[in-house]
Amino acid sequence: MWTLNRDKKIRVAVLLPEELMETVKVIGKDQDGRLMITEFNYNNETYRVINVHCPNIGGERKTFVKELNKWCVNTKNCFIIGDFNMCLSKLDRTNENKYKNDSSRTELINLMGQNNLIDIWRSLKPNKRQKYKSLNIHQN
């Protein structure tokens, strides 16, 4: 499953095992192809996967992240995956890149706090420096 932007280019996609395909529903997406929300059932539980490709521009990214909250509330098994176009912590950047103040990062941290979400990789590797890691967030 994938989303297309106005130029018919794929921005985000979700790949799931064949045995789950009967239960998969696309419950939301945007016109720019930057967002796709899917739900599927596994072992009598419903899971929500929010796949994002956040804008590069800070103000647009902040608005985009803020709008994700409506897809997270009242959801038990929620995962947000994709390209956030920002570093969540100083450990997630290269030495060549500066860790700048970014209001979209603050917005993402607020989203995580409000919805009991964690950065899976960072929780498993709290002190490891890693550039270009994928930010995968799920409910704790």
Residue-wise pLDDT tens digits, 103-129: 999 999 999 999 999 988 888 888 887
Residue-wise pLDDT tens digits, 24-78: 999 999 888 899 999 999 999 999 999 999 998 889 999 999 999 999 988 889 9
Annotated binding site: 83, 85
What residue ranges do the domains of the chain occupy? 2-139
Tell me, what amino acid is at 72? Answer: C
Copy the structure tokens of residue 101: 């103040």
User: What pLDDT, on the 0 to 100 scale, is given for residue 65?
Assistant: 96
Annotated binding site for Mg(2+): 83, 85
Angle subtended by helix axes 103-114 and 58-67, to nearest 10 = 10
pLDDT for 97 beyond 70: no
Of the two residues 60 and 13, the one the predictor is more confident about is: 60
Give the residue ranges of DSSP H helices in 1-140. 58-67, 69-72, 103-114, 120-124
| CATH architecture designation of domain 2-139 | 4-Layer Sandwich (3.60)
pLDDT for 132 beyond 60: no
pLDDT for 131 beyond 90: no
User: What pLDDT, on the 0 to 100 scale, is given for residue 94?
Assistant: 65
Residues with Cβ within 8 Å of residue 136, at least 6 apart in sequence: 79, 80, 81, 119, 120, 121
User: What pLDDT, on the 0 to 100 scale, is given for residue 78?
Assistant: 93
Q: Is the pTM of this model over 0.85?
A: no
Q: CA-CA distance, 38 to 44, in Å (whole number)? A: 16
Residues with Cβ within 8 Å of residue 41, at least 6 apart in sequence: 20, 23, 47
pLDDT for 9 beyond 70: no
User: What pLDDT, on the 0 to 100 scale, is given for residue 39?
Assistant: 93
